[in-house]
């Protein structure tokens, strides 16, 4: 959104139910009345409800429930976020953030979208990205050897979980990169990195968060809308979710920078939905890496699975929970 449009919006918000005349707006912002009218039209096109009342002027009546930059930025507490781009629709915010990263955008750049047409998960899988969710990708430039960055997806997951907890939700973590609410996946995280020699040039971390339950929900998915009913909280708007998640990522990333994953592994384990569970872990081709009981996570972010008295430390893979009856039989 252009600066002037942002200024018009801020003035409308500031005037509240009293409203503000086009003439006053034009004078205060040093622009023509025609320019004011143009910005008001553009804001309406973005979903803002703005009435034009005779004798009063413009009155802001409603703000759209969208992760718009102008709604998210005022809610952010962290100073990490120096540049935020917003889109109604895009292919993948990870692709947009990667393009910005390649062109030298600073650490702390974020790209937000209200929906994606080609949202991606890991290993070429799709991420369903209809309206009603938050899709955000951030550019990080960690100053560390690549080998130390393997736990970064777990760090970002902790950040997303912190964000959701700050809104009153109880979030669980499923290794390596899922955030759960109850029995379902509410958010997924996708990291993509470019390295030179053994140092990361940039890392793009994308998170998709399900907020409003769509008409065709993804099987096995959770939506934040489902959570508050039991907790008595109102469903948060998309801008609040986006800001909370960005601030959560920033806080976990800052701690990772100071103390490494060793400082966060306890928090990961406390939230792990896999603790003590019987699981099967497969690699990208579907071959089984391990089957057994989850012992925990090590300080490198690897999943520890005990099978027949031997503990395997697994750096990457897909985990399926074995049904409780299988666990009981195996026990």
- What does the block give as tokens for 56? 């009063």
> Cα–Cα distance between 133 and 46 in angstroms, integer?
17
In 3D, which of 222, 204, 192, 193 has the Cα closest to residue 128? 222
DSSP letter at 302 equals: P
- Which of 48, 135, 180, 202 is in the footprint of ligand BT5 by CB under 6 A? 135
Residue 9 or 222 having the CB closest to ligand BT5: 222
Distance of CA 317 to CAs 123, 153, 283, Å?
Answer: 10, 13, 5
Round to whole Å and give the CA distance between 331 and 323.
12
Which of 87, 120, 162, 174 lies at the binding interface for ligand BT5 (CB under 6 A)?
A: 120
For residue 296, give the H/E element and its range.
strand 288-297
Q: Is 127 in the site for ligand BT5 (CB under 6 A)?
A: yes
180 counts as binding ligand BT5 under rule CB under 6 A: no
- 92 contacts ligand BT5 (rule: CB under 6 A): yes
Minimal distance, residue 220 CB to ligand BT5, in Å: 6
Nearest approach, Cβ of 88 to ligand BT5 (angstroms)? Answer: 15
Helices and strands in the chain, H and E counts: 10, 14
Nearer to ligand BT5, 50 or 181 (CB): 181
Site string for ligand BT5, 241-280 (x = CB under 6 A): ----------------------------------------
Compare residues 127 and 256 and give the one whose CB is closer to ligand BT5.
127
Label the pairing between strands 278-282 and 318-321: antiparallel
Q: For residue 48, give every residue at least 6 positions away whose Cβ sits within 8 Å of its Cβ, in sequence order, or none.
A: 9, 12, 60, 62, 63, 64
Stretch that binds ligand BT5, among 61-69, 89-97, 256-264, 294-302 (CB under 6 A): 89-97
143: nearest Cα among 262, 246, 300, 253 = 253
Per CB under 6 A, 93 contacts ligand BT5: yes
Strand partners, 306: 293, 311
188 binds ligand BT5 (CB under 6 A): yes
C-alpha 329/C-alpha 138 separation (Å) is: 44
User: According to the binding rule CB under 6 A, does residue 179 interact with ligand BT5?
Assistant: no
Region of 18-26, 41-49, 116-124, 323-331 interacting with ligand BT5 (CB under 6 A): 116-124
Candidate residues 207, 211, 252, 294; the one interacting with ligand BT5 per rule CB under 6 A: 207
* 210 contacts ligand BT5 (rule: CB under 6 A): yes
What residues line the site for ligand BT5 (CB under 6 A)?
92-94, 116, 119-123, 125, 127-128, 135, 137, 177-178, 185, 188-190, 206-208, 210, 218, 221
């Amino acid at each position: 959104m252009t600066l002037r449009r942002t200024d018009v919006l801020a003035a409308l918000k500031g005037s509240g139910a009293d409203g503000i005349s086009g003439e006053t707006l034009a004078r205060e912002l040093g622009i023509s009345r025609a320019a004011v009218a143009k910005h008001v039209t553009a804001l309406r096109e973005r979903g803002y409800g703005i009435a034009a009342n005779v004798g009063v002027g413009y009155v802001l009546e409603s703000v759209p429930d969208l992760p718009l930059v102008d709604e998210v930025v005022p809610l952010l507490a962290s100073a990490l976020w120096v540049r935020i781009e917003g889109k109604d629709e895009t292919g993948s915010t990870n692709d947009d953030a990667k393009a910005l990263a390649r062109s030298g955008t600073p650490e702390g750049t974020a790209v937000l979208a209200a929906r994606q047409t080609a949202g991606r998960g890991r290993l070429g899988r799709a991420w369903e990205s209809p309206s009603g969710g938050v899709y955000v990708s951030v550019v990080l430039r960690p100053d560390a050897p690549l080998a130390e960055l393997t736990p970064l997806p777990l760090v970002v997951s902790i950040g997303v979980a912190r964000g959701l907890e700050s809104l009153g939700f109880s979030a669980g973590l499923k290794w390596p990169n899922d955030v759960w609410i109850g029995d379902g996946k509410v958010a997924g995280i996708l990291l993509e990195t470019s390295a030179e020699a053994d140092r990361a040039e940039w890392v793009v971390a994308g998170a998709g968060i399900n907020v409003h339950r769509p008409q065709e929900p993804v099987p096995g998915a959770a939506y934040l809308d489902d959570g508050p009913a039991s907790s008595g909280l109102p469903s948060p708007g998309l801008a609040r979710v986006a800001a909370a998640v960005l601030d959560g990522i920033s806080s976990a990333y800052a701690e990772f920078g100071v103390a490494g994953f060793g400082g966060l592994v306890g928090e990961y384990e406390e939230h792990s939905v896999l603790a003590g569970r019987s699981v099967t872990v497969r690699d990208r081709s579907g071959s089984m890496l391990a089957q057994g009981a989850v012992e925990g996570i090590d300080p490198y972010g690897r999943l520890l699975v005990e099978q027949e008295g031997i503990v395997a430390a697994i750096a990457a893979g897909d985990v399926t929970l074995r049904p409780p009856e299988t666990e009981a039989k195996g026990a």
